[in-house]
Amino acid sequence: MITKKQINDAIKKFNIKGKCIILHSSLKSFGDVVEGGPLSIINVFIDNGCTLITPTFSYEFLINPPEGKKYSRNGYDYSVKITENREIFTTNSDCISKNEMGIIPYTMLHMKERIRGYHPVCSFTGIGPFASEIIKTQKPMDVFAPLRELALFNGYILLLGVNLNKLTALHLAEQMAGRNMFIRWALNTDGLPMEVECGGCSEGFLNLDIFFNGIDKKITIGKSLWRLFPIGSLLKKTARIIQITPQITHCHDIKCIKCADMIAGGPEKYREMSNK
Ligand SMILES: [Zn+2]
C-alpha cells in the first residue's frame, strides 16, 4: 500500500510546500492501493498549504458549429455532426469527462470548497489558498488564463504518473509561440451558442521530452513516476522550441488534421471559410 506519509515526503523532497501546482494525474500509475484513496492525495497537498489546480474537461457540453460559422485551419471536420446534449454549463456543474480526466480530478470537482472556471468544455478546477485568484481568470475565449496566472505565482506542473501528452500547459506554450487555439462551440448561460477556445492534439508533446532534461525533478512512489516542472521556464523554453521547429508538436498520425492545422498557426480567426 502507498501511504500518506510517502505522498507527504514527496512534497517535502520537491520543496513545494505552500506552492501553486497544476496536477495531471493517474491514480492507477501507483500500481497499488493508496491509503485513503484519491481524496487523501488531494488533502496531503492541501495540508501542506498548496493550491492545487487540475483540468476538469467536459466534452459533453460541445455543440455543432452554428450555421455559417466555419473557420478554416480549425482542426475540425465540418462534415461530422456530433450528438448534442444541449445542457447549459455553469461553474456549479459537476459534469466531467471522467474516463479522460481520471479519478483525482473527478474527486476534486466533487469537493465542496473547490472552485471551477467558466469554460464549458475545458475548465480548470482548483482548491487551496490561491485557487479563486487563479481559476477566476478563465473565460470561454481565454482557456489557458489560469496557467498564465499560475506562472505569476511561480507555480509548478506536477505529472503524477502521466506522460507529456497530458501536459495541457504545452498548449499555452503553442499560444505563446504565436499559434491561435482552435474554436469550438458550447451553449452560454442564456442557452445560445458561443465560441470557446480549445487546445488541439497533445500526442506530439511526447516528442518534446528530449528538451526537458534538467528542467524537471523526479521522484518515484510505488510504480508512479512524478515529474515536477517550474511552469514559467517550461513555457518559455517550449515556446521557443516550437517557433524554431514547429513540426515537433506533430503526433505520429500523419493524417491528423488537428496537428496539421495547428502547425500552420491555428484558425484564421476573423476570416470565415464562406467569405473566401
Ligand atoms: Zn495529432
Q: What are 183-197's pLDDT values in tens digits?
A: 999 999 999 999 999
**Residue-averaged pLDDT of the chain:** 96
User: Is the pTM above the cut of 0.75?
Assistant: yes
How much distance in Å is there from the Cα of 56 to the middle of ligand 1?
21
| 115 alpha carbon – ligand 1 mean position (Å) | 31
CA of 218 to the centre of ligand 1 (A): 27
149 CA → ligand 1 middle, Å: 27
Give me ligand 1 centre to Cα 170, in Å: 14
Q: Convert the pLDDT of each residue in 75-96 to its tens digit.
A: 999 999 999 999 999 999 999 9
91, 216 Cβ separation under 8 angstroms: no
* 258 C-alpha to ligand 1 centroid (Å): 6
- What's the 250 CA to ligand 1 centre distance in angstroms? 6
What separation in Å is there between the alpha carbon of 199 and the centre of ligand 1? 11
Domain extent at residue 39: 4-267
| Ligand 1 center–CA 124 separation, angstroms | 23
pLDDT for 275 = 39
In degrees, to the nearest 5, what angle opens at C-alpha 153 toward C-alphas 266 and 245? 30
User: Does any domain span residue 276?
Assistant: no
The pLDDT of residue 138 is: 98
Residue 274 within a domain: no
Within a domain: 189: yes
**pLDDT of 236 above 80:** yes
- Between the CA of 177 and the centroid of ligand 1 the distance, in Å, is 18
With respect to residue 273, please indicate whether it lies within any of the assigned structural domains: no
Q: Is the pLDDT of residue 257 over 90?
A: yes
Is 272 domain-assigned? no
User: What's the confidence (pLDDT) of residue 218?
Assistant: 97
pLDDT in tens, 136-192: 999 999 999 999 999 999 999 999 999 999 999 999 999 999 999 999 999 999 999
Q: Residue 215 falls within a domain, yes or no?
A: yes
Model confidence at 270, pLDDT cuts 50, 70, 90, reads: low
Mean pLDDT within 208-218:
95
Residue in the structure block whose three cell numbers are 515526503: 9
Lowest mean pLDDT among 7-11, 66-70, 166-170, 258-262: 66-70
Q: What's the total number of domains in the chain?
A: 1
Q: Does residue 262 lie within any of the structural domains? A: yes
Residue 98 pLDDT > 80, yes or no?
yes
